[in-house]
Structure formats: structure tokens, C-alpha cells
Amino acid sequence: MLDIDTISRPGLGPISLRVANGECVAITGASGSGKSLLLRAIADLDPNSGEVRSQSGARSAIPAPEWRRKVAYLPAESGWWADTVAQHFETPEKVDLATLGLAPDAMAWQVARLSSGERQRLAFLRMLSRQPEVLLLDEPTAPLDADNTALFEQRLHRCLARGTSIILVTHDPAQAKRLANRHLVLADGQLTEAAHG
């Protein structure tokens, strides 16, 4: 569950939105309409006002690092701070690489030689290994081919079946239809229902 209560930042909002357990809300909108800024604000990565609640409680009452483990944001371009993939995981041996079509030895790879699609899938697995309650996904399948996109969406369906709430920013209306229960459009800093939800 995610309950966004009038959050705003310069150029955005106030926005209120409720995402139930196991629900996926898709957000589309023109480039520069503030989709990423909205996700960053929910994750409390930039200064913003308003309140957000999850199962674990109100954001303002939870230390920020703990909030970000529960309400996990996957940026469109992932960040890496060590040389090999495994160094970015707490328990590399427990990660299920095959479900996203990654080679079994991917943990030993150098980050510098990853393709953008590999980066994206590994960053997603890295995030899932922290067992988040809510996923904030920013164009997660943009660098993936059709086969890997299908695997990625299967994995998201499994998360939804387990009760995870998802906000999915996407450019692809078909993907919004495949995954989301609701489809919203962000324009002029406000969310509205899409014409063909």
C-alpha cells in the first residue's frame, strides 16, 4: 500500500494518489513533465512537502534510509559504486539471475562492461533483494529487447501477486495496459486519468 497525500515540489503537484496492495498504477506523460521528479520526491531523494504512508507507517516518522528500503525507487539509469557486480549485493549467491534471462556467472562480471540492459536488470534484482513493499519504477524496460521485457514483466506480475504495490513510469501504452490496473497521465505537474485507462 502507498498513500501519497498532497506531495509537492517546485513545478510539481500537489499530488495525491493511493496505490493498494498488489496494485500497479502506470504513469505516462511527455518528456520533462516531471515523472522522474515525482518518483524521486516519493522516495524522499529531493526536498518536497506533503506526507506519504506505506504499511510501515508515515514517511515523516521513519528514518529516510529505512523508508527507501521499503519504498524502493529504480531510476532510469542505475548507479554503481564498486568494480564487480557481486560487490553491490548483500548476498550475491541468493540472487535468482535466470528469471530475468541473465547468465549464471553475471555476479562475477565487471560493472564497466555491462550493457545498459544488463545494468537495468541487475539494478532491479539488487533492489528486490532488499524486500521492498513498494516499487517505483522509471522506464524499467526501456533498454530491454522484447524477450527480456517479457521476462521482466513476468517478474513484476509475481511481485504484484505477492501484494507489492507498483508505480510504473512508462512510455509504452501497451505495457501500461499489460501491467497496470490504472493508467494516469502527468501533465502540468498534475495527475489525471488517461482517456483509455
Partner 1 sequence: MDNYIALSYVDIALASVFLLLNGALSLWLRLGVARSLAFAAARMVVQLLLVGLLLKSLFAIQSPWLTLLVALFMAGFAAREIWARQNRRLRGWKGLAIGGGAMGASVGVVVLMALVVLVQPAPWWSPRYALPLLGMIMGNAMTGISLALDTLHTALTREQRAIEAQLLLGANKWEAMRPFLRQAMRAGFMPSINGMAAIGVVSLPGMMTGQILSGVDPNEAVKYQLVVMFLIAGATGLSVILATLGSARALSDERHRLRLDRLGKAKQGG
Q: How far is the CB of 38 from partner 1 (least distance, A)?
A: 15
The residue from 54, 78, 120, 165 that contacts partner 1 (CB under 8 A) is 78
Q: Does 72 bind partner 1 (CB under 8 A)?
A: yes
When the beta carbons of 122 and 160 are compared against partner 1, the nearer one is 122
**Rounded-to-integer distance, Cα 116 and Cα 104, Å:** 18
Of 113, 104, 102, give the one whose Cα is nearest residue 144. Answer: 102
Q: Does 91 bind partner 1 (CB under 8 A)?
A: no
When the beta carbons of 25 and 72 are compared against partner 1, the nearer one is 72
Q: Does 66 bind partner 1 (CB under 8 A)?
A: yes
- Tell me, residue by residue from 117 to 156, as one string, x for binding to partner 1 by CB under 8 A and - for no binding: ------x--xx--x--------------------------
Q: Does 68 bind partner 1 (CB under 8 A)?
A: yes
Q: How far is the CB of 75 from partner 1 (least distance, A)?
A: 7
The residue from 14, 55, 80, 97 that contacts partner 1 (CB under 8 A) is 80
> Cβ distance 14 to 189 under 8 Å?
no
**Residue type for 91, please?**
T
